[in-house]
Structure 1
Amino acid sequence: MTKETTSFVYVTYIRSTPDKVFAAITKPEIARRYWGHENVSDWKPGSKWEHVRANEERTVQIVGKVIEVSPPTRLVITWANPSQASDPSASSRVTFEIEEYEDMVRLTVTHDELAAGSAMANGIKKGWPVVLASLKSLLETGQGLDVFAKPKSA
């Protein structure tokens, strides 16, 4: 029996260049400024990558492998909780497509192969929009958003 999967696609336009967007995703010192995490890898196909919380504890939050890398236009990685890293069926896939669009960039993030109804699928629906809004803000204004902010109670 095959598991039911779902996907999440987010498209945003950023007044920047493909090189700067790609660097923001792959360079730890930039990612920590808008994501609160660092994406750590040598970014070669087959290499592992880690999503490390940029605080004193430096906990690894997500792990995966680099599937495809074509700077500055495309990056494909697998995505899993560290506790499930040894189970390939527990991994999902994230594709970053970066396209020049006049004087800006169209960034399309597709997170697919997610187990339908899973905590991961539900979490990324909330996570990706704020992370990508923060990336856009950082590249356009020099300051990211607080991705850990919580809604004010009514």
Structure 2
Amino acid sequence: MSGSEFVCVTYVKAPPERVWRALTEPEFTTRYWGVAFDTDWTPGSPMTWDENGATTSAPGQEVLEYDPPKRLAYTWHTFTPEWAERVGVPGDVLAKLAAEPRSKVRFDLEPDGGAVKLTVTHDGFPDLSTARDMVSQGWPALLSSLKSLLETGEPIGS
């Protein structure tokens, strides 16, 4: 797949502040994503990811924008052997991921009546990117689970 950007839009029937919390607070992120972020959310601050018991921290893994409850952006995590083992990524795929430049993700929240239009833009991928292929499958499922959690109290798969 070519192109450096993946965009996914969903509408969540919840106040913007609640959607924002679902993007930033571990009590939410661990329920629909299985990830907890350790950061102070100040632009330029490092981010540590804890995903399925694999802690990922590396230079360049940082907060880019933090404007509650409108915009959040950060660089994507480093692809490590520990992460790959925990989430079931084979070694050959890990090698391809590790060879790619670091991507970044941005969340834009816009009130839309009684809902929030949530736009996720994940970019910085090279042509024929393995990471882009993976996030193009992951983001729709992840956002569906976030939406389900906020609208019903349960993420998908619970």
Percent of aligned positions that are identical: 38
How far apart are residue 70 of structure 1 and its match?
A: 0.2
Q: Deviations over 1:130-154 (max 9, x none)?
A: 100000000000000129xxxxxxx
User: Greater helix percent: which structure?
Assistant: 2
User: Greater strand percent: which structure?
Assistant: 1
How many pairs does the alignment contain?
138
Corresponding residue for residue 138 of structure 1: 149
Query: What secondary structure does 1:127 align onto?
Result: helix
Say if 2:41 is the partner of 1:46. no
Q: Deviations over 1:19-65 (max 9, x none)?
A: 111111110121011111212211111011133114xxx20358621
Report the TM-score, using the length of structure 1 for normalisation: 0.81
Q: Please tell me the root mean square deviation across aligned C-alpha atoms, in Å.
A: 2.2
Distance 1:24 1:62 in 2: 21
Query: What secondary structure does 1:111 align onto?
Result: strand
Corresponding residue for residue 54 of structure 2: 59
Whose RCO is larger (CA < 8 A, sep 6+)? 2
1:103 to 85, 110, 114: 114
Check conservation: 2:33, 2:142, Cα contact below 8 A. Answer: yes
Report the TM-score, using the length of structure 2 for normalisation: 0.79
Distance 1:50 1:117 in 2: 27
Unaligned runs of 5+ in 2: 81-94
Unaligned runs of 5+ in 1: 148-154
Distance 2:6 2:55 in 1: 23
The runs of at least 4 consecutive aligned structure 1 residues that moved more than 6 Å come to none
Check conservation: 1:68, 1:74, Cα contact below 8 A. Answer: yes
